[in-house]
């Protein structure tokens, strides 16, 4: 049984191969702050991603006229807006934030409501099957299972859309 004090990392859920920077907190509250109906909880899946790989690839292979990262290594303001929009629209992410101290990455959350009687194994399967965590994982790794690359075509398309 899941309780609001429960916390899991990727290894607890058997999802280390998917993304080792996943943490799950169980909460009794929904996104809008209302209390759940009795017997349900929210699994708040916090996802983190570093910029280093994407920044290096963008500099090496990206469109030289549309670099996503500035010379000081920080993501450009325009690219940050595009990334935040993609996280919200494509992965149902909420609470998008840049890592404040280093600006070396970003975090966001995906909220999954489940019965409190859900086991850890069932929670793992639900995260895999009922959220966009797998889609995100595939799309931050260029070329994975023919997925579009987040810091490639997806960002360039969103930047064009935001400029209109």
Residue among 142, 136, 141, 148 nearest 110 (CA): 136
Is residue 1 in some structural domain? Answer: no
pLDDT for 34: 66
Is residue 77 in some structural domain? Answer: yes
Q: How much of the chain is helix, strand and coil, in % rounded to 5?
A: 40, 25, 35
Is residue 138 in some structural domain? Answer: yes
Residue 81 neighbours by CB distance under 10 Å? 14
Is residue 139 in some structural domain? Answer: yes
pLDDT tens across the length of the chain (164 residues): 898 889 999 999 999 888 768 999 998 766 566 666 778 899 999 999 999 999 999 988 877 888 999 988 889 999 999 999 999 999 999 999 998 766 689 999 999 999 999 999 999 999 999 999 999 999 998 877 788 999 999 999 999 999 88
Give the chain's domain count: 1
pLDDT for 29: 63
pLDDT for 102: 64
Going from the C-alpha of 118 to that of each of 25, 58, 162, the distances in angstroms are 14, 41, 40
pLDDT for 128: 95
pLDDT for 80: 96
pLDDT for 159: 95
pLDDT for 148: 93
Give the pair of three-digit tokens for residue 61.
Answer: 């292979």
Is residue 2 in some structural domain? Answer: no
pLDDT for 86: 98
pLDDT for 18: 81
Is residue 20 in some structural domain? Answer: yes
User: Domain range holding 36?
Assistant: 7-163
């Amino acid at each position: 049984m899941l309780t609001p004090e429960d916390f899991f990392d990727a290894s607890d859920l058997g999802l280390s191969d998917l993304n080792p920077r996943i943490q799950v907190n169980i909460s009794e509250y929904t996104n809008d702050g209302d209390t759940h109906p009795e017997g349900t909880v929210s699994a708040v899946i916090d996802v983190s991603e570093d910029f280093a790989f994407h920044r290096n690839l963008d500099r090496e292979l990206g469109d030289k006229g549309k670099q996503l990262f500035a010379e000081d290594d920080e993501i450009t303001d325009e690219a940050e807006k595009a990334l935040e929009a993609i996280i919200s629209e494509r992965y149902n992410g909420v609470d998008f934030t840049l890592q404040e101290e280093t600006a070396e990455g970003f975090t966001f959350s995906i909220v999954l409501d489940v019965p409190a009687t859900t086991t850890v194994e069932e929670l793992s399967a639900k995260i895999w099957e009922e959220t966009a965590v797998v889609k995100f994982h595939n799309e931050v790794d260029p070329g994975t299972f023919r997925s579009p690359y987040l810091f490639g075509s997806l960002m360039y398309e969103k930047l064009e859309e935001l400029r209109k």
